[in-house]
Chains A and B, each alone.
Chain A
Amino acid sequence: MSGAVLSRRAFMKRSAGVAASTALGGLMAVGADLQPAAARTAELRIREAKSYPSVCPYCAVGCGTVVHTVDGKVVNVEGDPRSPINNGTLCPKGAAIYQLHVNPNRIDKVLHRAPGATEWEVWDLGQAMDRVAELVKQTRDETFVEKTADGKTLMNSMGIFSLGGATMDNEWNHIHQKLMRGLGIVAIENQARI
């Protein structure tokens, strides 16, 4: 595999380094300089921002949010006062949405662990997608059943299990279940058992 190798130890060390800097303060951790709230003429840090209507990704109450960006970067997320659901309010999780996006603990590379390996490797995104497609095809082809012994149509593969969906977008749920069912994968589940 040609991906850049980042040993698990090095990876953990890097994380620890991040943790050390966060230990001193989330000011660094959240990627912001400490710009003290100045006086007399306090500059609004979103004055030049662009606003995007959005929705809280935590629970299912569906609070409206407004995302502010400056130079293409998320700088603030707060409740949308116009939403009849939350009228600008949020819970602590909703108030922390910014930190889901801007967070030094966030990984932005694909990690791959070979069978039996003790370390992650960083992989190229396209290479990883190719490999997953190969594995899906291989497993499907090995486990596909067209008919039962008594001749009923089955057209499925029980060799692959897809888990997740309640935290994703509707659009993903649609195309994912479509792809799975299109392939004959029926073991599809998410958090919504009832």
Chain B
Amino acid sequence: MRLGRGAATTYPGNLVHSDCILIEGSNMAECHPVAFRFVMQAKLAGAKIIHADPRFTRTTAMADVHAPLRAGSDIAFLGGLINYVINSERWNTDPFFKEYVSTYTNAGTIINPEFQDTEDLDGIFSGLGPYQEGEWGLNGFTGQYDNKTWQYAQGPVGDQGRTANTAQSGETGVSSGQPGAEAAQVPVGPPFDPVVQALLKPPPTSDPTLQDPNCAFQILKRHFSRYTPEMVERVTGCPQDQFIATADMMLANSGAERTTSICYAVGWTQHTYGPQMIGAAALLQLLLGNMGRPGGGILALRGHATIQGSTDIPTLYHSIHGYMAHPTILKQHETLTDYVKAEALPRSYWANLPKFMVSYLKSMWGEAATPENDFGYGWHPRIFGDHSHMPMVLAMMDGEVKGMMAMGQNPAVGGQNAVMQRLALAKLDWLVVKDNFETETAAFWYNSPEVTGGQIATEDIPTEVFFFPSAQVAEMDGSYTNTQRLVQFHHKAADPPGDCRSDVWWTYELGKRLKDLYAGSTAPRDQGFLNLTWDYEPEPEEVEQWAIKDEPSFDKILREINGYESGTGKLLPSFTALKDDGSTTCASWIYSGIYPEEGKLRAASRNPDPVGGPGTNLNWAYSWPANRRVLYNRAAARPDGTPWSERKKWVWWDPNKVPAPTAAAPNPPPGMWDGYDVPDFVANKAPNAPADPNAIGLAGHAGTDPFIMKADGKGWLFTPTGLVDGPLPTHYEPLETPVRNPLYGQQVNPVLKRWDREGNVAVEVGDPAYPYVLSTYRLTEHHLSGVMSRWLPWLAELQPELFVEISPELATEKGIQNVDLVRVSTPRGQIQAKALVTRRMRPLNVADQVIHHVGLPWHWGYQGVVTGSVVNDLALLVGDPNVSIHEGKAFVCNVEKA
């Protein structure tokens, strides 16, 4: 939301260039051990490692500084760092910071003078009103903001913002900042450029001295002014010494000569203010000048093999390919032109959205998608609310959902409020589970605690259940997109046993059968499906060496993802070739270029750099977009295009390098961006190129605007739009907490999502029945809900039983000894675990209270070689308002000896 793309800005290997690494919201050594080797390499080369975390983990064991802090208090900690940095002597005297921040961020942009901050309104921003629940009924918002007063003074710039971080969750009534009033004058596409052109507004005004009281920088300075080291200690429990050591290390290791990086994982996302936590880190990194530079950036450490890929190619309700918004009835999306008007950003790379969208529609309906029928846009379904996991569980409970497919996901263990997840399964008419082993979800009807405990009888469960056994990674061709946006191909090495089949096989076969069932239908509702292109039949040579002859063609699927000329099928070299007239077909514009020509699948390229190189490894697999490895890397150079320093050279302007001639420019003038990485910038746009205020696309940005996806080309310190809960990160308490918010009268995120109903009751603040802060987490030895680890004897023996980590202080208080059986409870459920009493857990002093943390790894369930209680039985369905992520890292519980 602050940078423009929903992805890690860097890659783990780039950490070797860091001089300081802050790991927070992540237990990197345990959860991403192989990525952590780069942290160790940096450390051996002299980098400082900081771990900010409630627990002392295997990550902390390797750190130079441990900053212990209360679960859920990270915004107070990061806000404290921001406040410390901008008031420090170094930041105010080293010209690097001023130059970076005033040129590359929106620090100087003047904000609407009517904006009121949380400092003015005791924890809320201007524009808060009650939430009106729509037709869907399960959106869960507790309030909603009108963000009119958060806008740039010159007027709204809008944010395409279809990143994972900024996914709209179906909220209504929040003005998006999009123009639209002048709809009547706008033509209808295609071509769509005039439509986009009509959206242009005057560019925002700015004070490069950052002194105007209404500029973003001054607002943020006031916003964080009370986040002092004393306040940080009071809110987070982190002793001031460790906090100041952290701040000093990061400050000393940022600047022209040095860079600091930040690594995070779900310790930051799983909160009712998760996206704001990541935003706070982005803000800090922009202020420290670490974005777009080697050894800088923010590294999102993701937990599933293609969790990035499944967001890019979204099996997610809120977006379609390449971070385009899913058509919705909650915005003006009725026609394709309406959609373009609502979603295109005229002055950013998103001006090209019509090309991406039309090419996507062609990938759905092929020849049936024509300019005359809006390329089949009318067949495309619309969303009308938050259809994410948590509300869908409630929809299942309410009987609205009849059938479910659980494909490689195990909600009976992994879902929040797993008791309710399993009860919801028992309401279904039918359930398909496809996995490698008989998961808890597959076995819920005879082996769940509700059945074995006598609460429900198997005979009374009406659900028709299917278990389809899956092929495993070595038994199929395919690709994953890893945490650094790198798409890597894996080759089939063996046939799967018996009736195990690849997931692609399953979905393709289902589609073929449905095509047969619907054949000949004349119902209007079926015409879209009948026109859906569905041909992935394998060529004989693709399957000749295997026993399974009907495995779909991964090659055909990848062609559709990469894109091709609609008539000829000729592969497209990159997304720059896409057109908005139907002449190109491309499912996923950001993946275009992965298969640029016949015989060249870049996801399968495996040519590492020679030893001693910069480590970009541009010929090892393919990183979207356009194989760039460090995003926003224009910022790795000074505004004039020269490197900030020899030591931190990465991408720079070479005035003498001559671009390759093209048909349009047979004799291009010299001058190109060059470097170790693919420049994330217009290749031949000079550093001194002015912005054309009347042009759409990147011509509207100057040669000093590195954030090409943003409407103003800047990194956003202040987010006028794109986040529904405020333009600046603010410390709120978790919904469940033993502590009153020490900073504001407003206790929690005022627009968070909650779903209060029987079986999903939250604990009131400070309830003595549930006094301890609970976090759930993973261990190195297991994976997720255990499907891929608890069935494997080699992994099962390493961590065989569920345990609860508590401090000796709490153990003594509760009369619990090491390995005693303990009962952990919340209003949602109770579980049993063995106590692991350890000084790695410590009580923290927070706001004059002693806070005890309780830690529970959540890998166990009732199926497998080793079994144990389902930890998520304790968790609450409660969500962040931007993306509906749950709050799994900070809630409250009680602990008793069993």
Chain A residues with a Cβ under 8 A of chain B: 8, 19, 22, 26, 29-30, 50, 52-64, 67, 69, 72-74, 77, 80, 82-86, 89-97, 99-101, 103, 105-118, 120, 123, 125, 128-137, 139, 142-144, 146, 148, 152-194
18 contacts between A and B (CB under 8 A): A53-B606, A55-B473, A60-B482, A84-B608, A112-B464, A113-B445, A113-B463, A118-B458, A129-B506, A148-B329, A153-B382, A164-B406, A167-B305, A172-B507, A175-B552, A189-B315, A193-B389, A194-B880
Docked complex Cα distance between A115 and B463 (Å): 5
CB pair B303–A59 under 8 Å, yes or no, is: yes
- Count chain B CB atoms within 10 A of each CB in A94, A101, A176, A182 and give the residue with the most: A182
CB pair A61–B310 under 8 Å, yes or no, is: no
CB pair B474–A77 under 8 Å, yes or no, is: yes
Contact of B34 among A90, A110, A132, A185 (CB under 8 A): A90
User: Is residue B438 contacting chain A, with contact meaning CB distance below 8 A?
Assistant: yes
Docked complex Cα distance between A184 and B384 (Å): 13
Docked complex Cα distance between A173 and B334 (Å): 26
A79 closest partner in B (C-beta): B34
CB pair B392–A187 under 8 Å, yes or no, is: yes
User: Is residue B260 contacting chain A, with contact meaning CB distance below 8 A?
Assistant: no
- Residues in B neighbouring A67, C-beta threshold 8 A: 474, 491, 493-494
CB pair A93–B793 under 8 Å, yes or no, is: no
Docked complex Cα distance between A38 and B700 (Å): 71
CB pair A153–B334 under 8 Å, yes or no, is: yes
Contact status of A179 and B511, CB under 8 A, knowing A60-B302, A160-B402, A163-B406: yes
Docked complex Cα distance between A44 and B511 (Å): 45
**Binary flags per residue of B395-410, CB closer than 8 Å to A gives 1, else 0:** 1100011111111110
Docked complex Cα distance between A113 and B780 (Å): 35
Enumerate the 3 nearest inter-chain pairs by beta-carbon distance, A residue then B residue, closest first: A108-B498, A62-B482, A169-B478
* Segment 281-311 of B: residues with Cβ below 8 Å from A: 301-311
Contact status of A152 and B492, CB under 8 A, knowing A109-B469, A170-B313, A192-B316: no
CB pair B792–A165 under 8 Å, yes or no, is: no
* Segment 5-31 of B: residues with Cβ below 8 Å from A: 12-13, 31
User: Is residue B462 contacting chain A, with contact meaning CB distance below 8 A?
Assistant: yes
- Count chain A CB atoms within 10 A of each CB in B405, B411, B479, B884 and give the residue with the most: B405
Contact of B620 among A60, A84, A158, A159 (CB under 8 A): A84
CB pair A194–B405 under 8 Å, yes or no, is: no
Contact of A133 among B392, B513, B793 (CB under 8 A): B513
Docked complex Cα distance between A130 and B489 (Å): 31
B269 closest partner in A (C-beta): A194
* Segment 360-415 of B: residues with Cβ below 8 Å from A: 363-364, 378-384, 387-389, 392, 395-396, 400-409, 411, 414
User: Is residue B824 contacting chain A, with contact meaning CB distance below 8 A?
Assistant: no
B128 to chain A, nearest CB (A): 23
Docked complex Cα distance between A67 and B335 (Å): 49
Docked complex Cα distance between A162 and B388 (Å): 10
Contact of B304 among A96, A131, A161, A167 (CB under 8 A): A167
Docked complex Cα distance between A166 and B363 (Å): 22
CB pair B307–A191 under 8 Å, yes or no, is: yes
Stretch among B95-103, B557-565, B657-665, B849-857 lining the A interface: B557-565
CB pair B606–A64 under 8 Å, yes or no, is: yes
- Residues in B neighbouring A57, C-beta threshold 8 A: 305, 472-473, 480, 788
Contact status of A52 and B305, CB under 8 A, knowing A110-B467, A168-B407, A186-B387: no
Q: How many residues of B contact A (CB 8 A)?
A: 170
Stretch among B429-437, B671-679, B732-740 lining the A interface: B429-437
Contact of B503 among A59, A85, A169, A192 (CB under 8 A): A169
Stretch among B211-219, B523-531, B701-709, B767-775 lining the A interface: B523-531
- Residues in B neighbouring A82, C-beta threshold 8 A: 606, 608
Contact of B468 among A103, A128, A153 (CB under 8 A): A128
A49 closest partner in B (C-beta): B493
Contact status of A64 and B310, CB under 8 A, knowing A109-B498, A133-B514, A161-B401: no
- Residues in B neighbouring A94, C-beta threshold 8 A: 34
- Residues in A neighbouring B508, C-beta threshold 8 A: 175
Docked complex Cα distance between A168 and B510 (Å): 17
- Residues in B neighbouring A168, C-beta threshold 8 A: 306, 310, 407-408, 503
User: Is residue B499 contacting chain A, with contact meaning CB distance below 8 A?
Assistant: yes
Contact of B493 among A69, A148, A179, A182 (CB under 8 A): A69
- Residues in A neighbouring B195, C-beta threshold 8 A: none
Docked complex Cα distance between A63 and B12 (Å): 11
Docked complex Cα distance between A99 and B334 (Å): 51
- Residues in B neighbouring A120, C-beta threshold 8 A: 467
- Residues in A neighbouring B310, C-beta threshold 8 A: 165-166, 168, 170, 173, 190-192
- Residues in A neighbouring B364, C-beta threshold 8 A: 178, 181-182
A93 to chain B, nearest CB (A): 6
User: Is residue B791 contacting chain A, with contact meaning CB distance below 8 A?
Assistant: yes
CB pair B788–A93 under 8 Å, yes or no, is: yes
B385 to chain A, nearest CB (A): 10
CB pair B507–A116 under 8 Å, yes or no, is: no
A89 closest partner in B (C-beta): B34
Contact status of A161 and B392, CB under 8 A, knowing A83-B608, A182-B528: yes
A119 to chain B, nearest CB (A): 8
CB pair B483–A60 under 8 Å, yes or no, is: yes
A172 closest partner in B (C-beta): B503
CB pair A188–B532 under 8 Å, yes or no, is: no
Contact of B495 among A72, A130, A158 (CB under 8 A): A72
- Residues in B neighbouring A106, C-beta threshold 8 A: 436-437, 469, 497, 500
B299 to chain A, nearest CB (A): 11
CB pair A86–B34 under 8 Å, yes or no, is: yes
- Residues in A neighbouring B524, C-beta threshold 8 A: 146
CB pair A60–B307 under 8 Å, yes or no, is: yes
CB pair A158–B400 under 8 Å, yes or no, is: yes
* Segment 502-545 of B: residues with Cβ below 8 Å from A: 502-504, 506-511, 513-514, 517-518, 524-525, 528-529, 532, 534, 536
CB pair B481–A170 under 8 Å, yes or no, is: yes
A sample of 10 more A-B contacts (CB under 8 A), given A106-B469, A110-B468, A110-B499, is A60-B306, A60-B483, A105-B864, A131-B466, A155-B382, A162-B404, A168-B310, A174-B561, A183-B529, A189-B315
CB pair B479–A152 under 8 Å, yes or no, is: no
Docked complex Cα distance between A97 and B138 (Å): 40
- Residues in B neighbouring A128, C-beta threshold 8 A: 466, 468
- Residues in B neighbouring A22, C-beta threshold 8 A: 793, 865
Docked complex Cα distance between A191 and B403 (Å): 19
Docked complex Cα distance between A182 and B363 (Å): 11
